Amino acid sequence: MVEITALKQQITDCRLCAERFAQTRTAHGPRPVVWFEQGARLLVAGQAPGLRVHESGKPFTDPSGDRLRDWLGLSAAEFYDTRRVAIVPMAFCFPGYDARKADLPPPRICGATWHGQVMAALPDVRLRVLVGGHAQRYHLGTRDGVTQVVRNWRSLAPKVFALPHPSWRNTAWLKRNPWFETELLPVLRARVKEILT
């Protein structure tokens, strides 16, 4: 079994992307946000920390996090309980901004280096919540777009739920796809409650 404390320390110390991040507009250094413990039953697989999370050092401490907790039906205390919930993005560090001030994609090297080891260290995960296209492509091996993957949610449940990113940028998507809130979310909340209690 992977020794989880050592693995967490290795990720915390990781500087593989230092040169890449130094060349972004924010010229920041790596700050891996590592948030998982042995025994977690719910995996939240996201994209990468944004700038606010880079500064706080805690995942989803932003409006996207508020929306995601609402989607899952979890309080902040429940969501941040590492004994039950593991939050493992496809990159552990903020990747920087592109020219339109949107977040750059997670560096591939992060998922390739760490994700398999983290998943091997979390054998008790019963439900994987895949937030956004990067996590969906990694975990499902799909090349389909987010809308198509999320629309097919019944073929993935109850072990996997694919979600759009909870960013404000997807508010129009939510309006165009009302079934997401009326059909998918009630089933997701019931499943989260089931595996965490």
110 binds ligand SF4 (CB under 6 A): yes
- Going by C-alpha positions, the residue among 77, 26, 79, 86 that lies closest to residue 55 is 26
Is the Cβ of residue 16 or residue 185 nearer to ligand SF4 in the bound state? 16
113 binds ligand SF4 (CB under 6 A): yes
Q: Which of residues 41-60 bind ligand SF4 (CB under 6 A)?
A: none
Is the Cβ of residue 28 or residue 126 nearer to ligand SF4 in the bound state? 28
Q: Supply the DSSP string of 64-110, one letter for each residue.
A: HHHHHHHHHT--HHHHT-TTTEEE--SSSS---B-TTSPBPPPPHHH
Shortest Cβ 12–ligand SF4 spacing (Å) = 8
Which residue's structure tokens are 């110390």? 13
Q: Which stretch binds ligand SF4 (CB under 6 A): 50-58, 105-113, 130-138, 184-192?
A: 105-113
- Listed in sequence order, the residues at least 6 apart from 162 whose beta carbon sits closer than 8 Å to its beta carbon are 130, 136, 140, 146, 149, 150, 153, 156
Is the Cβ of residue 17 or residue 149 nearer to ligand SF4 in the bound state? 17
Q: Which stretch binds ligand SF4 (CB under 6 A): 74-82, 108-116, 164-172, 185-193?
A: 108-116
In residues, how long is the chain? 197
> Which one of 50, 59, 96, 107 is in contact with ligand SF4 (CB under 6 A)?
107
Measured CA to CA, the distance from residue 190 to residue 197 in angstroms comes to 11
> Which one of 3, 5, 9, 15 is in contact with ligand SF4 (CB under 6 A)?
15
Size of the site for ligand SF4 (CB under 6 A): 14
